[in-house]
Amino acid sequence: MPFHLFDAPEREPSQFVGFSGNILDRQSETRSEDMVERAFAAPGTQVLVLGGGRLLLKLRDGTFDPYFSPEEALSLGASARSAVLLGFDSGTAILAAPVVFDTEALPQSLKAIDYRSIYVQGLIGPAALGALAQGASLVAWHANHPFCSKCGQPTEIRAGGYWRLCPNCGTEHFPRTDPVAIMLALSGDECLLGRSHRFQPGMYSCLAGFIEPGETIENAVRRETFEEAGIRLGRIVYHASQPWPFPYSLMIGCYGEALNRDIHLDGDELEDCRWFTRAEVRRIIDGESPDGITIPPQGAIASLLIRHWAQG
Protein backbone atom coordinates (compact mmCIF):
# COMPACT_ATOMS: atom_id res chain seq x y z
CA MET A 1 0.00 0.00 0.00
CA PRO A 2 1.25 3.56 -0.67
CA PHE A 3 2.59 5.58 2.23
CA HIS A 4 0.45 8.58 3.18
CA LEU A 5 2.12 11.33 5.20
CA PHE A 6 -0.99 12.06 7.27
CA ASP A 7 -2.07 8.51 8.00
CA ALA A 8 -2.71 8.63 11.74
CA PRO A 9 -5.38 7.87 14.35
CA GLU A 10 -8.38 10.17 14.23
CA ARG A 11 -7.46 11.55 17.64
CA GLU A 12 -3.80 12.47 17.88
CA PRO A 13 -2.07 11.18 21.03
CA SER A 14 -1.58 14.67 22.45
CA GLN A 15 -5.33 14.94 22.95
CA PHE A 16 -5.20 12.28 25.66
CA VAL A 17 -3.00 14.21 28.11
CA GLY A 18 -3.94 16.77 30.72
CA PHE A 19 -3.83 20.50 29.95
CA SER A 20 -4.12 19.86 26.18
CA GLY A 21 -7.81 20.61 25.60
CA ASN A 22 -7.57 24.37 24.95
CA ILE A 23 -10.17 25.39 22.33
CA LEU A 24 -9.91 29.18 22.66
CA ASP A 25 -9.54 31.49 19.69
CA ARG A 26 -6.49 33.38 20.90
CA GLN A 27 -6.59 36.10 18.25
CA SER A 28 -2.88 36.62 18.93
CA GLU A 29 -2.35 38.58 15.69
CA THR A 30 -5.27 40.98 15.99
CA ARG A 31 -5.16 42.18 19.59
CA SER A 32 -5.74 45.78 20.57
CA GLU A 33 -4.29 47.49 23.64
CA ASP A 34 -7.67 47.89 25.32
CA MET A 35 -8.93 44.31 24.83
CA VAL A 36 -8.73 43.41 28.53
CA GLU A 37 -10.55 46.57 29.63
CA ARG A 38 -13.26 45.98 27.03
CA ALA A 39 -13.53 42.34 28.03
CA PHE A 40 -14.00 43.27 31.69
CA ALA A 41 -16.93 45.42 30.65
CA ALA A 42 -18.47 42.92 28.21
CA PRO A 43 -21.46 40.80 29.27
CA GLY A 44 -20.68 37.13 29.77
CA THR A 45 -16.91 37.50 30.16
CA GLN A 46 -15.41 34.70 32.24
CA VAL A 47 -12.32 34.98 34.44
CA LEU A 48 -9.94 32.35 35.81
CA VAL A 49 -8.64 33.62 39.17
CA LEU A 50 -5.11 32.41 39.98
CA GLY A 51 -2.76 32.89 42.90
CA GLY A 52 0.24 31.13 44.42
CA GLY A 53 0.11 28.19 42.02
CA ARG A 54 -3.57 27.63 42.80
CA LEU A 55 -6.83 28.17 40.96
CA LEU A 56 -9.91 29.43 42.74
CA LEU A 57 -12.92 27.19 42.16
CA LYS A 58 -16.56 27.72 43.04
CA LEU A 59 -18.06 24.68 44.75
CA ARG A 60 -21.65 24.09 43.66
CA ASP A 61 -23.61 20.93 44.46
CA GLY A 62 -20.45 18.85 44.59
CA THR A 63 -19.02 20.16 41.30
CA PHE A 64 -16.36 22.78 40.63
CA ASP A 65 -16.78 25.86 38.46
CA PRO A 66 -13.49 27.55 37.50
CA TYR A 67 -15.00 30.71 36.00
CA PHE A 68 -15.93 33.98 37.69
CA SER A 69 -17.69 37.02 36.34
CA PRO A 70 -15.62 40.22 36.10
CA GLU A 71 -17.50 41.61 39.10
CA GLU A 72 -16.74 38.50 41.17
CA ALA A 73 -13.08 38.58 40.10
CA LEU A 74 -12.74 42.25 41.04
CA SER A 75 -14.26 41.56 44.46
CA LEU A 76 -11.58 38.90 44.99
CA GLY A 77 -8.79 41.37 44.27
CA ALA A 78 -8.34 40.96 40.53
CA SER A 79 -7.38 43.93 38.40
CA ALA A 80 -7.80 44.63 34.70
CA ARG A 81 -4.26 46.05 34.71
CA SER A 82 -2.70 42.68 35.57
CA ALA A 83 -5.21 40.37 33.87
CA VAL A 84 -4.41 38.64 30.58
CA LEU A 85 -6.78 37.82 27.75
CA LEU A 86 -6.56 34.13 26.89
CA GLY A 87 -8.94 34.26 23.94
CA PHE A 88 -12.56 33.73 23.01
CA ASP A 89 -14.95 30.79 23.27
CA SER A 90 -17.85 31.26 20.82
CA GLY A 91 -17.39 35.01 21.17
CA THR A 92 -17.12 35.02 24.95
CA ALA A 93 -13.89 36.53 26.31
CA ILE A 94 -11.88 34.33 28.68
CA LEU A 95 -9.40 36.06 31.01
CA ALA A 96 -6.89 34.97 33.63
CA ALA A 97 -6.30 37.30 36.57
CA PRO A 98 -3.65 36.94 39.28
CA VAL A 99 -4.72 37.64 42.86
CA VAL A 100 -3.24 37.29 46.33
CA PHE A 101 -5.52 35.43 48.70
CA ASP A 102 -5.41 33.71 52.06
CA THR A 103 -6.55 30.13 51.57
CA GLU A 104 -7.54 29.91 55.24
CA ALA A 105 -9.86 32.92 54.94
CA LEU A 106 -11.83 31.75 51.90
CA PRO A 107 -15.56 31.02 52.35
CA GLN A 108 -16.77 27.43 52.17
CA SER A 109 -18.08 28.02 48.66
CA LEU A 110 -14.57 28.72 47.31
CA LYS A 111 -11.63 26.34 47.11
CA ALA A 112 -8.05 27.22 46.16
CA ILE A 113 -6.56 24.07 44.62
CA ASP A 114 -3.13 23.58 43.08
CA TYR A 115 -2.93 22.97 39.34
CA ARG A 116 -1.52 19.44 39.62
CA SER A 117 -4.33 18.24 41.92
CA ILE A 118 -6.92 19.78 39.61
CA TYR A 119 -5.76 17.75 36.63
CA VAL A 120 -5.00 14.54 38.55
CA GLN A 121 -8.42 14.56 40.19
CA GLY A 122 -10.27 15.68 37.05
CA LEU A 123 -11.98 18.56 38.84
CA ILE A 124 -12.64 20.62 35.69
CA GLY A 125 -13.27 19.76 32.05
CA PRO A 126 -10.61 19.43 29.33
CA ALA A 127 -11.32 22.84 27.75
CA ALA A 128 -11.09 24.67 31.07
CA LEU A 129 -7.98 22.69 32.00
CA GLY A 130 -6.37 23.74 28.72
CA ALA A 131 -7.27 27.37 29.38
CA LEU A 132 -5.78 27.00 32.86
CA ALA A 133 -2.47 25.83 31.39
CA GLN A 134 -2.38 28.87 29.13
CA GLY A 135 -3.41 31.29 31.87
CA ALA A 136 -1.11 29.86 34.53
CA SER A 137 1.89 29.97 32.18
CA LEU A 138 1.21 33.57 31.10
CA VAL A 139 0.56 34.80 34.65
CA ALA A 140 3.77 33.13 35.86
CA TRP A 141 5.79 34.65 33.00
CA HIS A 142 4.50 38.16 33.71
CA ALA A 143 5.26 37.74 37.42
CA ASN A 144 8.81 36.60 36.64
CA HIS A 145 9.58 39.30 34.05
CA PRO A 146 8.51 42.72 35.41
CA PHE A 147 11.78 44.36 34.38
CA CYS A 148 13.57 44.77 31.08
CA SER A 149 16.46 42.33 30.67
CA LYS A 150 18.26 44.89 28.49
CA CYS A 151 18.15 48.09 30.57
CA GLY A 152 16.61 46.97 33.87
CA GLN A 153 13.65 49.36 33.82
CA PRO A 154 10.02 48.30 34.55
CA THR A 155 8.10 46.92 31.58
CA GLU A 156 4.41 47.23 30.70
CA ILE A 157 1.86 44.65 29.57
CA ARG A 158 0.80 44.95 25.93
CA ALA A 159 -1.73 43.27 23.60
CA GLY A 160 -3.89 41.97 26.43
CA GLY A 161 -1.00 40.18 28.09
CA TYR A 162 0.73 38.62 25.08
CA TRP A 163 3.95 40.59 25.40
CA ARG A 164 5.65 43.31 27.43
CA LEU A 165 7.20 46.58 26.32
CA CYS A 166 10.03 48.52 27.94
CA PRO A 167 9.05 52.20 27.61
CA ASN A 168 12.62 53.21 28.42
CA CYS A 169 14.55 51.45 25.65
CA GLY A 170 11.73 50.14 23.46
CA THR A 171 12.64 46.46 23.81
CA GLU A 172 9.77 44.03 23.30
CA HIS A 173 9.60 40.93 25.50
CA PHE A 174 7.55 37.87 24.58
CA PRO A 175 6.37 34.94 26.73
CA ARG A 176 8.73 31.99 26.86
CA THR A 177 8.03 28.29 26.63
CA ASP A 178 10.66 25.92 28.00
CA PRO A 179 10.85 22.71 25.89
CA VAL A 180 11.41 19.47 27.79
CA ALA A 181 12.19 16.11 26.22
CA ILE A 182 10.53 13.16 27.95
CA MET A 183 11.32 9.73 26.62
CA LEU A 184 10.78 6.02 26.98
CA ALA A 185 13.81 4.00 25.93
CA LEU A 186 12.93 0.58 24.50
CA SER A 187 14.96 -2.59 24.10
CA GLY A 188 13.08 -5.50 22.61
CA ASP A 189 10.17 -6.23 24.95
CA GLU A 190 11.47 -4.03 27.77
CA CYS A 191 11.35 -0.34 28.62
CA LEU A 192 13.59 1.81 30.79
CA LEU A 193 12.01 3.54 33.80
CA GLY A 194 13.66 5.56 36.53
CA ARG A 195 12.70 7.22 39.76
CA SER A 196 13.75 10.65 40.95
CA HIS A 197 14.56 11.47 44.55
CA ARG A 198 11.48 13.74 44.46
CA PHE A 199 8.99 11.04 43.45
CA GLN A 200 6.47 9.58 45.84
CA PRO A 201 7.49 6.16 47.19
CA GLY A 202 7.33 3.38 44.62
CA MET A 203 6.74 5.52 41.54
CA TYR A 204 8.80 5.04 38.38
CA SER A 205 8.53 7.13 35.24
CA CYS A 206 10.13 8.08 31.92
CA LEU A 207 13.41 9.97 31.87
CA ALA A 208 13.22 13.67 31.01
CA GLY A 209 15.28 16.83 30.69
CA PHE A 210 15.31 20.31 29.23
CA ILE A 211 16.22 20.76 25.58
CA GLU A 212 19.28 22.96 25.34
CA PRO A 213 19.92 25.85 22.89
CA GLY A 214 21.02 24.69 19.45
CA GLU A 215 19.82 21.12 20.09
CA THR A 216 17.30 19.07 18.15
CA ILE A 217 14.57 17.18 19.99
CA GLU A 218 16.14 13.89 18.91
CA ASN A 219 19.59 14.80 20.17
CA ALA A 220 18.16 16.03 23.47
CA VAL A 221 16.44 12.66 23.91
CA ARG A 222 19.71 10.87 23.23
CA ARG A 223 21.80 13.16 25.44
CA GLU A 224 19.49 13.08 28.47
CA THR A 225 19.09 9.31 28.35
CA PHE A 226 22.86 8.80 28.18
CA GLU A 227 23.59 11.37 30.88
CA GLU A 228 21.05 9.97 33.33
CA ALA A 229 21.30 6.24 32.66
CA GLY A 230 24.31 5.57 30.40
CA ILE A 231 22.02 4.20 27.69
CA ARG A 232 22.80 5.18 24.10
CA LEU A 233 19.84 5.58 21.76
CA GLY A 234 19.62 5.15 18.02
CA ARG A 235 16.33 5.88 16.28
CA ILE A 236 13.95 8.37 17.92
CA VAL A 237 10.21 8.58 17.27
CA TYR A 238 8.04 11.52 18.37
CA HIS A 239 4.71 10.54 19.93
CA ALA A 240 2.92 13.43 21.70
CA SER A 241 3.35 16.71 23.56
CA GLN A 242 1.81 18.27 26.66
CA PRO A 243 1.59 21.86 27.93
CA TRP A 244 2.99 21.83 31.45
CA PRO A 245 2.35 25.01 33.48
CA PHE A 246 5.12 24.50 36.06
CA PRO A 247 5.78 27.25 35.26
CA TYR A 248 5.70 27.35 31.42
CA SER A 249 7.06 24.19 29.82
CA LEU A 250 6.14 22.06 26.84
CA MET A 251 6.73 18.34 27.36
CA ILE A 252 7.76 16.61 24.11
CA GLY A 253 7.26 12.86 24.37
CA CYS A 254 9.36 10.41 22.34
CA TYR A 255 10.35 6.77 22.11
CA GLY A 256 14.01 5.83 21.72
CA GLU A 257 15.67 2.66 20.46
CA ALA A 258 18.28 1.51 23.00
CA LEU A 259 21.64 0.41 21.61
CA ASN A 260 22.96 -1.02 24.91
CA ARG A 261 21.44 -2.35 28.13
CA ASP A 262 24.07 -1.77 30.82
CA ILE A 263 22.82 1.06 33.04
CA HIS A 264 25.24 3.59 34.53
CA LEU A 265 23.12 5.60 36.93
CA ASP A 266 23.57 9.32 37.54
CA GLY A 267 22.92 9.35 41.27
CA ASP A 268 22.35 13.10 41.33
CA GLU A 269 19.45 12.87 38.89
CA LEU A 270 17.99 9.46 39.69
CA GLU A 271 17.56 7.29 42.74
CA ASP A 272 17.07 4.15 40.67
CA CYS A 273 16.73 3.09 37.05
CA ARG A 274 15.93 -0.34 35.64
CA TRP A 275 14.49 -2.29 32.72
CA PHE A 276 10.89 -3.51 32.96
CA THR A 277 9.26 -6.13 30.74
CA ARG A 278 5.97 -5.37 29.03
CA ALA A 279 4.25 -7.92 31.27
CA GLU A 280 5.65 -6.22 34.38
CA VAL A 281 4.46 -2.81 33.19
CA ARG A 282 0.99 -4.16 32.48
CA ARG A 283 0.81 -5.48 36.06
CA ILE A 284 1.93 -2.07 37.33
CA ILE A 285 -0.79 -0.37 35.27
CA ASP A 286 -3.37 -2.78 36.67
CA GLY A 287 -2.22 -2.04 40.23
CA GLU A 288 -0.88 -5.57 40.67
CA SER A 289 2.85 -4.93 41.08
CA PRO A 290 4.19 -7.28 43.79
CA ASP A 291 6.69 -4.56 44.75
CA GLY A 292 4.11 -1.78 44.99
CA ILE A 293 5.54 0.03 41.97
CA THR A 294 3.37 2.69 40.31
CA ILE A 295 3.64 5.02 37.31
CA PRO A 296 2.43 8.63 36.94
CA PRO A 297 -1.33 9.18 36.82
CA GLN A 298 -3.32 9.13 33.62
CA GLY A 299 -3.22 12.56 32.02
CA ALA A 300 0.54 12.82 32.44
CA ILE A 301 2.48 12.39 29.20
CA ALA A 302 4.81 9.92 30.90
CA SER A 303 1.81 7.73 31.65
CA LEU A 304 0.64 8.05 28.04
CA LEU A 305 4.02 6.95 26.69
CA ILE A 306 4.19 3.99 29.07
CA ARG A 307 0.59 2.85 28.57
CA HIS A 308 0.69 3.23 24.78
CA TRP A 309 3.77 1.00 24.59
CA ALA A 310 2.63 -1.57 27.16
CA GLN A 311 -0.94 -1.93 25.93
CA GLY A 312 -0.47 -1.24 22.24
Question: What pLDDT score was predicted for residue 98?
Answer: 97
What is the span of the domain harbouring residue 36?
Answer: 14-146
Q: Is the pLDDT confidence value at 10 over 80?
A: no
What is the torsion angle, in degrees rounded to the nearest 10, for the CA atoms of residue 277, residue 283, residue 288 and residue 289?
20
In a domain, 156, yes or no: no
Q: Where are the beta strands (DSSP E) in 99-170?
A: 110-114, 156-158, 163-165
Shared domain for 84 and 209, answered yes or no, is: no
- Alpha-carbon distance 177 to 166, whole Å? 20
CATH number of the domain to which 119 belongs: 3.90.79
CA distances to 66, 93, 101, 157 from 45, in Å:
13, 5, 22, 20
In a domain, 220, yes or no: yes
Q: Please, what sign has the CA dihedral across residues 115, 121, 123, 124?
A: positive
In a domain, 155, yes or no: no
In a domain, 7, yes or no: no
What one-character-per-residue DSSP string does 260-307 give?
-------TTT-SEEEEEEHHHHHHHHTT--TT--B-PPTTSHHHHHHH
Provide the residue count of the chain.
312
Average of per-residue pLDDT values in the chain: 95
Which pLDDT tens digit goes with each residue over 64-121?
999 999 999 999 999 999 999 999 999 999 999 999 989 889 999 999 999 999 999 9
Residue 312, SS3 per DSSP: coil
Shared domain for 199 and 293, answered yes or no, is: yes
> Looking at the 3D structure of the chain, how many domains does it have?
2
In a domain, 287, yes or no: yes
Shared domain for 211 and 299, answered yes or no, is: yes
Please, are residues 116 and 129 in contact by the beta-carbon 8 Å criterion? no
Shared domain for 204 and 296, answered yes or no, is: yes
In a domain, 81, yes or no: yes
Question: What pLDDT score was predicted for residue 29?
Answer: 84
Question: What pLDDT score was predicted for residue 11?
Answer: 81
Per-residue confidence band for 28, with pLDDT thresholds at 50, 70 and 90 = confident
Shared domain for 134 and 184, answered yes or no, is: no
Shared domain for 224 and 115, answered yes or no, is: no
Question: What pLDDT score was predicted for residue 9?
Answer: 63
* Cβ neighbours around 90 below 10 Å, total: 7
Which pLDDT tens digit goes with each residue over 133-168?
999 999 999 999 999 999 999 999 999 999 999 999
Q: Is the pLDDT confidence value at 21 over 80?
A: yes
Query: How many CA atoms, within 13 angstroms, populate the side-chain half-sphere of residue 23?
Result: 10
CA distances to 7, 84, 132, 161 from 39, in Å:
41, 10, 18, 13
In a domain, 86, yes or no: yes
Which pLDDT tens digit goes with each residue over 31-69?
899 999 999 999 899 999 999 999 999 998 889 999 999
- Alpha-carbon distance 161 to 180, whole Å? 24
Sorted by sequence, the CB contacts under 8 Å of residue 124 that are 6+ apart come out as 57, 64, 66, 118, 132
Which pLDDT tens digit goes with each residue over 245-280?
999 999 999 999 999 999 999 999 999 999 999 999
CATH number of the domain to which 192 belongs: 3.90.79.10
In a domain, 54, yes or no: yes
Shared domain for 182 and 141, answered yes or no, is: no
CA distances to 57, 73, 163, 310 from 138, in Å:
19, 18, 9, 35
Shared domain for 92 and 198, answered yes or no, is: no
Q: Return the DSSP state at 200.
A: P
Q: Is the pLDDT confidence value at 1 over 60?
A: no
